[in-house]
Amino acid sequence: MKTGILFVCHGNICRSPMAEFIMKDLVDKRGLSSDFHIESCATSTEELGNDVYPPAKEELRRRGIRFKHRCARQMKSTDYGNFDYIIAMDNQNIRNMGRFVNGDPDYKISLMMSHVGESQGVADPWYTGDFSRTFDDLERACSALLDEILAR
């Protein structure tokens, strides 16, 4: 059975798709792509149907991370049963997920940066404009998360 990872942010056009493609790259480099199912989604409806934000795409390109066209989607209550790990980019995302996860009875939800021992969220480059810093944080946390999963 594949391990399912769902990355979640507000609009699903910057942080969560960047995390999705970074994690896909990490598992691919370890020859584990067939063992994982990795997606991303939004808590809001603001960007539904939109592709990854162009500056986020540019940062992925600059770092050699492959990505493909995708459409932002909103989280669904069925996602909770379909994924083993649900990773939020910040605490507001966790709060906004509440209506989809029924209290997280299986303890699937975590804050992205908690996987590197940090309690803050991933800075939203939509507001900061710093896609490089966001990429660095996501890459570090994705790597740590993958190591955690593989150690189980």
Catalytic: 15? yes
Catalytic residue among 90, 124, 137, 142: 124
Angular region, 150: left φ>0, alpha ψ -120 to 50, beta rest: alpha
| Contacting residues for 37 by C-beta, under 8 A, at least 6 apart | 2, 3, 4, 5, 83
Contact 22, 100 (CB under 8 A): no
Catalytic: 84? no
Catalytic residue among 9, 14, 41, 142: 9
**Nearest in space to 23 (alpha carbons), one of 139, 102, 104:** 139
Catalytic: 66? no
Q: How many CB atoms lie within 10 A of CB 129?
A: 12
Catalytic residue among 14, 15, 41, 79: 15
Contact 74, 96 (CB under 8 A): no
Active site residues: 9, 15, 124
